[in-house]
Structure 1
Amino acid sequence: MSEYSRIFDGWLTRYKLNRLLNKYELENRLELDDAITIPSIDKGVTKFNGSFAEYVDRYFFWRGWAAMSCVVPAAICLYFALQMGLLIYTPIDGELPSGELFFAGWIVTVLISLLIIGLCVFAIKKDFFCYTHYPIRFNRKNRKVYIFQHNGPGGVIDIDWEKSYWIVGKIRDGWHSSYDLRCHILDNDGLIRHTFSVGGESSYRAEILQHWEMIRRYMEESPAALPFPPLHLFTSTEPTLLNCFLIQVGAVSGFNGLKSLPYLVFGSIWAFFRWISQKTCRTPRWPAEVEAVCQIAEDDPYRLPEPRQTAERDGLTEEEFLQEIDYIRSAKEAALAYEQANPVPSGP
């Protein structure tokens, strides 16, 4: 079995479940008590306090893609369907098309129309009328990980932190490879029953290790072991147009979209589709039993303010802002050095 998953596994396509761990997964487990000696970083934490830390799912940053990528082919199909529908009623040399052409035209029109409907249904199921995001909550008090699936009974999967099986997931998209922080939930026979990914992906394995180290330190050590400050919460899940623009332009260009017109245009189109789809979605709500074990103390010294929009800098002094930028720069340099010193492990 390949060590690589597909780019949209877990969202547009399914993870391969009900299987044993492959060689790569067996040899590259992230151990809970094994510290990573590079600075930890944030890749999608939205809530942070002394009781729990909450992250977005990996596909939070991809939302709007299904809608955008389906609209263009659907529009092209609709154009040809209309043309074919008009053609079968258009006289040729003063005469209406033959019965055979009339019948064939209707068959093609119907098939194209079905394709359009299929594309629209696919986009609606993945991007519209679902949830704005699917959060993952790490409770350090009761040592549990909660994975949101849907509102209502049975909508949350939970697992003991000590029983979770973490790896740096490897993703192949054509010639391009990327990585994510991935967890398998195993049954008593060692079969994978559920898989989920936490936070943003990266082109560099070392960045995912930094992402993992932030979660590992939070659960195994203390919130005080993490760099808040100089870091602060960065990601907002509010489905505003500005938020969608900030997230998607950043996803396309690494927050350099304003310096490149093609990135800016593509990111803006993506942001529009993200906004439209997100406005139709519901906000995820944790059930009462989860909230009951995730109470935050009124005097919690580790609780961080949650941003109203992504990349919000309100409340930061210029000195604090510069310290944060310096930390992120040094963390990226450390990740690059680690990447060069530790080649990516290979599987079968």
Structure 2
Amino acid sequence: MKFPTKDERTPFYFRQTGKPLGKWELEHRLSIRRPVSEQVVEYGNVYRIDSTCLEITDESQMRIQNVGMLWIICSFATIFMLLGTVFFASAPFRETAEVMARKGNWAGVILGTTVGIIGTGFFGLLAFDPMRRNMFTLKRRPIRLNRKTRRIYAIRTKDPGGIWEVPWSEDEFFCVGHRRMGGLSRAYDMYDIRHYQLDAEGNVVRAFVLGQFALTLEEIYAQWEYYRRYMQDGPANLPEPYRFWPPRETFWEGYKICRGGKFSGAFWAMIDFIFSPFALLDAFARWLVLATCGDPVWPPEIEAACKPTPNDPYARPYADDYIGVPSGPDAKPSREDLERMWAQEPQRRREGALTRAEAEDLIRRQTEVTV
């Protein structure tokens, strides 16, 4: 059995390693110079943005709880099948040969033991793969787009060679990825932004995904435009990020991610109440995976290259920006969220972050000087 490499939390494209790109990838190559959409949208992937660097999440960060739940279910299934194997295999030691023959238990012992061994191996492999790729690795796998060095830096693993560096160049192969997903009633399409590193023969060496998956090409093109325009033109005319991810996630933050958006109204409040135990179970699975992992550490040279300039008015989150997944209705910060943000504002200002009002005033003064 061929397992995906540890740098891939979502292993759908590892099978392309060593093979040439398909027709879809070649027809949907993305240019860093030519726009593909008039829309520019950010879907909630950003840790921070400034005039030097845009740091975003790994594409699988939203779904860590899924692999955690898969690991828990498969681990329990493995234990159950192993106990069943032991039960059937130990029957000859609990009964005499004469009793076994008289009752006709040998066929059941052989069948039960065989099924138990196969089931233990099957569920054991299913539990091993997500554990190997997601546990005891990194809590998050950030990607940095640096405008000054014209490089993309991506932390994939904590092993030597786990930090990839990609030039922001027309010679690099960026494209729209596509895969067919199976649903309960029918299959549906998923799209993403991929970078492929190719060898001299045009075969895939490795790949990673920028941003989130989307259900339409239009959404992917709008997301690509956000990254492309940032690298080409800077952050001045970009729309505000949908939200800022916290560098360190708490259990409560994970619960809000698992719960998803909360809508207004009595009906949605009732739905949220009914499904809250399932969200809590998902949050535990997410916490279990993250608790085994360590924080990513950038090398000093990359940290220095990505350091924002002092008093950069485009450096966000601002001191009075909310960081994390809001817990209020319609995905807006609740009163508790805002109070937590206000409590953190003095510390963030001491760290050099401007408030929104200070940044807007600085941009206005810079514009007046330019004019």
TM > 0.5 fold call:
yes
Contact 1:233-1:304 within 8 A present in 2 as well: no
- Tell me how far apart the structure 1 counterparts of residues 279 and 179 of structure 2 sit (CA, whole Å): 22
Contact 1:182-1:195 within 8 A present in 2 as well: yes
Give the 3-state SS of the residue equivalent to 1:193 in structure 2: strand
Deviation at 1:220, TM superposition (A): 0.6
- Tell me how far apart the structure 2 counterparts of residues 232 and 74 of structure 1 sit (CA, whole Å): 37
Deviation at 1:46, TM superposition (A): 1.1
Contact 2:137-2:158 within 8 A present in 1 as well: no
Match of 1:236 among 218, 227, 246: 246
- Tell me how far apart the structure 1 counterparts of residues 200 and 84 of structure 2 sit (CA, whole Å): 58
Q: How many residues align?
A: 305
Give the 3-state SS of the residue equivalent to 1:64 in structure 2: helix
For structure 2, the 5+ residue unaligned runs are 1-7, 328-332, 343-355, 357-371
Give the 3-state SS of the residue equivalent to 2:30 in structure 1: coil
1:245 aligned partner:
255
Q: Which moved more, 1:104-113 or 1:125-134?
A: 104-113
Deviation at 1:255, TM superposition (A): 4.6
Give the 3-state SS of the residue equivalent to 1:197 in structure 2: strand
1:190 aligns to 2:202 (yes or no): yes
1:167 aligns to 2:158 (yes or no): no
Deviation at 1:218, TM superposition (A): 0.6
Given the superposition, is the C-alpha separation of residues 300 and 259 from structure 1 closer, same or farther in structure 2, using an over 3 Å criterion? farther
Given the superposition, is the C-alpha separation of residues 86 and 154 from structure 1 closer, same or farther in structure 2, using an over 3 Å criterion? closer
Kindly report structure 1 stretches of 4+ aligned residues shifted beyond 6 Å.
Answer: none
Percent sequence identity is: 25
Q: Which moved more, 1:302-311 or 1:283-292?
A: 302-311
Given the superposition, is the C-alpha separation of residues 80 and 160 from structure 1 closer, same or farther in structure 2, using an over 3 Å criterion? closer
Matches within 5 A, 1:1-348: 11-13=10-12, 14-35=14-35, 36-87=37-88, 88-89=90-91, 95-96=99-100, 102=109, 105-151=112-158, 153-162=160-169, 163-174=171-182, 175-228=187-240, 231=241, 233-250=243-260, 254-256=261-263, 260=271, 263-305=275-317, 308-311=323-326, 313=333, 314=338
- Tell me how far apart the structure 2 counterparts of residues 255 and 202 of structure 1 sit (CA, whole Å): 20
2:345 aligned partner:
none
Alignment-mate amino acid for residue 67 of structure 1 = G
Larger Rg: 2
RMSD, matched Cα: 3.2
- Tell me how far apart the structure 2 counterparts of residues 17 and 255 of structure 1 sit (CA, whole Å): 40
- Tell me how far apart the structure 2 counterparts of residues 223 and 29 of structure 1 sit (CA, whole Å): 24
Contact 1:239-1:279 within 8 A present in 2 as well: no
Deviation at 1:236, TM superposition (A): 2.5
Q: Which moved more, 1:237-246 or 1:114-123?
A: 114-123
Alignment-mate amino acid for residue 152 of structure 2 = V
Between the two structures, name the one with larger relative contact order (CA 8 Å, sep ≥ 6): 1
Give the 3-state SS of the residue equivalent to 2:124 in structure 1: helix
- Tell me how far apart the structure 2 counterparts of residues 290 and 161 of structure 1 sit (CA, whole Å): 15
- Tell me how far apart the structure 2 counterparts of residues 248 and 298 of structure 1 sit (CA, whole Å): 36
Q: TM-score, normalized by length of structure 2?
A: 0.71
Given the superposition, is the C-alpha separation of residues 95 and 269 from structure 1 closer, same or farther in structure 2, using an over 3 Å criterion? same
Alignment-mate amino acid for residue 119 of structure 1 = L
- Tell me how far apart the structure 2 counterparts of residues 148 and 37 of structure 1 sit (CA, whole Å): 31
Give the 3-state SS of the residue equivalent to 1:63 in structure 2: helix
Deviation at 1:259, TM superposition (A): 5.4
1:329 aligned partner:
none
Question: Which deviations, in whole Å up to 9, do the C-alpha atoms of 1:131-169 show, x marking residues without a partner?
Answer: 112111100011111121223542211111013322222
Question: Which deviations, in whole Å up to 9, do the C-alpha atoms of 1:74-111 show, x marking residues without a partner?
Answer: 4244334434533543669x945766755665554444
Given the superposition, is the C-alpha separation of residues 23 and 232 from structure 1 closer, same or farther in structure 2, using an over 3 Å criterion? closer
Deviation at 1:280, TM superposition (A): 0.9
- Tell me how far apart the structure 2 counterparts of residues 258 and 211 of structure 1 sit (CA, whole Å): 31
- Tell me how far apart the structure 1 counterparts of residues 209 and 53 of structure 2 sit (CA, whole Å): 18
Contact 2:40-2:238 within 8 A present in 1 as well: no
Q: Which moved more, 1:291-300 or 1:15-24?
A: 15-24
